[in-house]
């Protein structure tokens, strides 16, 4: 049964891996199909030219239909092309960093590369026809060009693949954006924000910048939430899969052979002795209260032996589970480090996203969150919470619960954490939002 489950999981993992590595090809194929639909409309109703409703006689219903089809296919092609660029960049970086790919023969195939270039050239050709129209439709009013703008007429190289400019931002653009901390100055943030808002409202290109900033913010939010979710799910799934399907069967086999120690430390042994002694006193109590008849020495010894066997089985399972947790947590930590190492651009996006979220809160909200976290982790009642956490970690890994280490940790780590909080408040928050610091001091008094 376990073998069949393992094979099913391996097959599911392979199919998921194949789906991930096929993302660029799948996105490009969807974009190609979208522009093919546009090309079919052009060839069928407009003689192979650009869709133009001034040419020919079309009813209002037909015009609405063509506009809807053109808009849907253009948006689908642009979105899927952006997905192709992003996924192709991520997979290319992963292949370079790991030194291997899911299928090197596919990645290095010249025929497939030539087909990909041909599809990109065709998509670029169709989207270029409607690029100006799509840009105008994205704004609420028409945006005039600057008078001194000179359009350079350079010949287009047919051999070079130039994907159309996507309305959605690139992950590198978002990652390289200046964060709120980087834009801090000696002037209060509220004054700088007011001056910047007035300047932006007077700018004739304010609407274009507003739409661009909205797209960047939306793209940043999607990337950040997806990356944070992956940082949580990948280590958890790795821990559970390793424990139940990789390390678990081997440890269970050793346990069944009796090669796993009953007690990993003296604390577990003492707990087992206390359980056996408590059971013996329970039997005496039940006899004194008349719930069971008086037991002879042989019957008492027999019941104690049965209970001792149960305790032995229970603590052997507990020791085996602790060994599983050690290896599973190690693999989970390695998976977490792999995600962090291979996602440097995503981390920059997450940092920018967290800056916007934290520094975008009101002053009272900032003060409330700071007080909540400081009181929880470095406050008066925090030592009890740290003690429970450390004891739980010790039991999880089967380590002895050293009271000296726990007390030393509680005496040092919360102090270091409190110093870090105070330094962050003094170094960053005091410059960016001094009113939030004043609110925090008033609430904390």
Q: What is the mean pLDDT of residues 41-56?
A: 76
Share of the chain above pLDDT 90, in %: 19
Query: pLDDT digits over 247-291, tens only?
Result: 999 998 988 888 888 888 888 899 999 999 999 999 989 988 888
Q: What is the mean pLDDT of residues 160-179?
A: 51
Side-chain-facing half-sphere of 137: CA atoms under 13 Å: 12
- Cβ–Cβ < 8 Å for 74, 93: no
- Cβ–Cβ < 8 Å for 341, 288: no
**Burial zone of 442 (CB within 10 Å; 0-12 exposed, 13-18 middle, 19+ buried):** exposed
Please work out, in degrees rounded to the nearest 5, the angle formed at the alpha carbon of residue 141 by the alpha carbons of 135 and 142.
60
Residues in the chain, total: 445
CA distance 25 to 21: 8
CA distance 435 to 438: 5
Q: Of the given ranges (84-98, 273-287, 307-321, 409-423), which has the lowest mean pLDDT?
A: 84-98
Residues in CB range of 266: below 8 A, 6 or more apart: 400
- Any idea which residue has 């097959």 for tokens? 11
In Å, what is the CA distance from 221 to each residue of 346, 350, 355, 432?
11, 8, 12, 22
3-state secondary structure of 176: coil
- What is the band of 142 on the pLDDT scale with cuts at 50, 70, 90? very low
Residue 171's nearest CA partner among 319, 32, 394, 349 is: 349
Q: What is the mean pLDDT of residues 343-365?
A: 85
pLDDT of res. 174: 54
Please tell me the pTM assigned to this model: 0.53
């Amino acid at each position: 049964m376990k073998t069949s489950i393992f094979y099913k999981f391996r097959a599911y993992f392979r199919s998921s891996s194949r789906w991930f590595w096929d993302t660029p090809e799948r996105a490009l194929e969807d974009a190609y199909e979208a522009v093919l639909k546009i090309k079919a409309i052009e060839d069928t109703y407009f003689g192979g030219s650009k869709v133009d409703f001034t040419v020919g006689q079309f009813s209002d219903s037909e015009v609405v239909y063509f506009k809807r089809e053109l808009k849907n296919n253009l948006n689908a092609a642009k979105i899927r092309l952006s997905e192709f660029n992003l996924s192709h960049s991520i997979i290319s970086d992963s292949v370079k960093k790991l030194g291997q790919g899911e299928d090197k023969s596919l990645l290095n195939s010249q025929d497939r590369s030539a087909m990909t270039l041909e599809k990109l050239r065709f998509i670029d050709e169709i989207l270029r026809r409607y690029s100006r129209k799509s840009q105008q439709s994205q704004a609420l009013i028409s945006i005039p060009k600057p008078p001194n703008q000179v359009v350079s007429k350079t010949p287009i190289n047919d051999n070079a693949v130039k994907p159309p400019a996507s309305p959605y931002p690139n992950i590198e653009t978002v990652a390289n954006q200046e964060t709120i901390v980087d834009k801090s100055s000696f002037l209060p943030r509220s004054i700088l924000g007011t001056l910047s808002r007035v300047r932006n409202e007077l700018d004739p290109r304010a609407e274009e910048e507003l739409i661009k900033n909205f797209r960047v913010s939306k793209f940043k939010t999607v990337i950040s939430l997806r990356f944070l979710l992956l940082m949580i799910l990948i280590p958890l799934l790795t821990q559970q899969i390793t424990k139940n399907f990789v390390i678990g069967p081997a440890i269970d086999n050793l346990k069944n052979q009796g090669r796993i120690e009953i007690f990993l430390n003296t604390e577990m042994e003492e707990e087992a002795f206390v359980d056996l002694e408590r059971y013996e006193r329970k039997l005496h109590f039940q006899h004194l209260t008349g719930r069971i008849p008086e037991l002879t020495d042989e019957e008492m010894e027999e019941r104690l032996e049965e209970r001792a066997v149960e305790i032995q089985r229970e603590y052997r399972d507990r020791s085996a589970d602790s060994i599983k947790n050690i290896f599973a947590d190690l693999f989970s930590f390695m998976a977490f480090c792999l995600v962090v190492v291979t996602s440097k651009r995503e981390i920059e996006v997450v940092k920018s996203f967290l800056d916007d979220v934290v520094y975008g809160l009101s002053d009272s909200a900032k003060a409330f969150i700071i007080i909540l976290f400081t009181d929880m982790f470095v406050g008066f009642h925090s030592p009890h919470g740290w003690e429970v956490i450390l004891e739980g970690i010790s039991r999880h890994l089967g380590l002895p619960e050293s009271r000296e280490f726990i007390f030393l940790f509680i005496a040092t780590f919360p102090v270091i954490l409190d110093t870090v909080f105070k330094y962050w408040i003094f170094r960053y928050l005091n410059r960016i939002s001094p009113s939030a610091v004043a609110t925090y001091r008033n609430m904390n008094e």
